[in-house]
Structure 1
């Protein structure tokens, strides 16, 4: 009896550690666009390492039905980790461009995009629209539009040199652009949280007694 109680306690400890690691991973993903390029990778690697180790502990200590749920959560995390850095680079650029939209500061515009004549603000709006729709262009259109996009990015003054370099890398390999935007907007986070909720619920059920 005591052995069973201790085993159950070890299982619960593994379950809770895994859930905590996944929540931490989710928080790191949410904040990646606000970090520098090097810091993003460091934070992401550390967070995913915790998830991977905690998942391994669940597979060793956990009940088989709970392990199945944990595997689903881990698969969601692994998919998000694979795209996270690329998505963060695009999202970081889009956020910077959004911050340059007609703030109505310095007396240079009235804060009305339709009447604004301040070129950096207008260029930020055009650049944002082009980045958002970049994946919908074929290679010929991308080549023709690239010079305009580069001009607008430069004139907007919204992006740091590091952000420009990171964005250009993604523009140069624009495969799966819609997927990148989806990850950047945290769309898969909902599926991750649903999977985690199912895992937490399953891990709290008392094991059946034969």
Structure 2
């Protein structure tokens, strides 16, 4: 009897133990799963943060590269424009010493290069820089308009000066030297004469140009053609100490350089 009771007690105890063990196991499994889920969530959040940081860093790097590339392109465009306008003006100043037959072609080449370089600034440059480039281009257009007639006059002026008397040009009695000096004076004041005065002195200008023997017949012809159109005469003659036309160009050219290179590093 006692043996049966003992067996029954053992069986009850085992069942109770089993009942207690199962919930504990289930509870442990539940907390273990929750811990695992939390760790996974934390890992996922950390991964997302890292991904977002990586994307942000890549975007910043891409923007920096893009801005650096744009700044480099702008710098090249500005340098190209300045080089083009400087070469253009150099040709304008050298035209009087270049054979007349070659002047137009050289001038057209350099003027075209200015237009092409200006297009690069128009595409890449911010508004203030392009606005200043337009001022430079406007001065170049003014120079181009006057360049060929200017070359005729300045070439003639230089030739007449070379034909002066080497001693005293004003009191020299040599007819060729004297004619060179008179023709030179006429050309220098031609634009400031009244229309009637120019008409009266036109024959004298032609005679002294021929008599000076400083110019050939073709050159005399071209000087007289220019003398029939006195608009902007002083700009074409230029000054002996100052040259207003080139001074205006240099002023806007330098302003462009200041504005253009001052804008670099401020790329939006």
Scaled by the length of structure 1, what TM-score is found? 0.88
5+ residue gaps, structure 2, are: 1-63
Partner of 1:190: 247
Post-superposition Cα deviations, 1:140-192, rounded to whole Å, max 9, x if no partner, equal 32232222222211111001233212101112233342343248974221121
Partner of 1:116: 172
Partner of 1:84: 147
- Structure 1, 34-43 or 5-14: larger mean CA deviation: 34-43
Alignment check: 8 A CA contact 1:84 1:183 kept: no
Q: 1:50 aligns with which of 113, 128, 136?
A: 113
Scaled by the length of structure 2, what TM-score is found? 0.70
5+ residue gaps, structure 1, are: 104-110
Partner of 1:158: 214
In 1, distance between residues paired with 2:76 and 2:232? Answer: 39
- Structure 1, 158-167 or 52-61: larger mean CA deviation: 158-167
**Cα gap change, 1:193 to 1:130, in 2 (>3 Å):** same
- Structure 1, 116-125 or 158-167: larger mean CA deviation: 158-167
* 2:145 pairs with 1:94: no
* 2:190 pairs with 1:134: yes
- Deviating runs (4+, > 6 A) in structure 1? none
Q: CA deviation at 1:114?
A: 4.3
Q: CA deviation at 1:99?
A: 0.6
Post-superposition Cα deviations, 1:61-81, rounded to whole Å, max 9, x if no partner, equal 112221111111111111111
In 1, distance between residues paired with 2:110 and 2:85? Answer: 8
Partner of 1:41: 104
Alignment check: 8 A CA contact 2:71 2:265 kept: no
In 2, distance between residues paired with 1:91 and 1:150? Answer: 17
In 2, distance between residues paired with 1:15 and 1:151? Answer: 50
Alignment check: 8 A CA contact 1:123 1:153 kept: yes
Q: CA deviation at 1:139?
A: 3.1
